[in-house]
């Protein structure tokens, strides 16, 4: 799953338009317009497609955190990560939505996907910790799908 795929899935899950997505990124101090967001959301085979970098996805997620939770008390804005893993995406979404372990497990239930507490905990560990596990793309995909179902209970 590419960064562009993740961004498209998040857009659908949270029912965001290009302007709202650009506004989230602008929360990090980055200059951006809705036209550039539209290029990121385009399919690879479409004219104007622009590949979203790890730093770009990180800026969106950090801006989403600021939008949902407010700025950091110190007023500092985090520098975007050079490389963003599926674990980091999952962590940043959890932070933005102020989710506890039970909330995250509920999202997976809505997506009809089973994740144990131990497995979930391993995704949030620091890399290098003995209980750390890399979050598979399918897990992130199902999490985002579950977030979308929270918005649309008829599915």
- Count of domains for the chain: 2
Predicted local confidence at residue 93, as pLDDT: 97
Confidence of residue 151 (pLDDT cuts 50, 70, 90): low
What domain range includes position 54?
Answer: 3-69
Number of H helices, E strands in the chain: 8, 0
* Token pair listed for 121: 């905990």
Question: Is residue 41 helix, strand or coil?
Answer: helix
The pTM of this model reads 0.90
The answer as to whether 54 is a domain residue is: yes
User: Do residue 95 and residue 52 come from a single domain?
Assistant: no
Higher pLDDT, 101 or 149: 101
Residue after which a domain boundary falls, among 37, 69, 101 = 69
Exposed, middle or buried by CB within 10 Å (0-12, 13-18, 19+), for 59? buried
The answer as to whether 130 is a domain residue is: yes
Residue after which a domain boundary falls, among 26, 41, 69 = 69
Q: What is the mean pLDDT of the segment spanning 142-146?
A: 96
Smallest CA-to-CA distance from 143 within 113, 102, 99 is with 113
User: Do residue 142 and residue 106 come from a single domain?
Assistant: yes
């Amino acid at each position: 799953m590419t960064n562009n795929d993740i961004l498209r899935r998040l857009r659908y899950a949270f029912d965001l338009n290009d302007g709202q997505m650009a506004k989230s990124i602008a929360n990090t101090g980055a200059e951006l317009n809705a036209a550039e967001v539209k290029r990121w959301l385009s399919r690879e085979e479409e004219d104007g497609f622009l590949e979203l970098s790890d730093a770009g996805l990180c800026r969106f997620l950090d801006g989403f955190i600021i939008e949902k939770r407010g700025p950091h008390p110190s007023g500092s804005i985090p520098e975007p990560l050079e490389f963003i893993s599926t674990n980091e995406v999952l962590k940043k979404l959890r932070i933005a939505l102020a989710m506890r372990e039970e909330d995250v497990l509920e999202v997976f239930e809505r997506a009809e996907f089973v994740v144990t507490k131990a497995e979930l905990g391993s995704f949030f560990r620091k890399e290098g910790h003995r209980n750390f596990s890399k979050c598979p793309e399918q897990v992130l995909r199902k999490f985002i799908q579950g977030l979308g179902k929270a918005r649309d209970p008829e599915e």
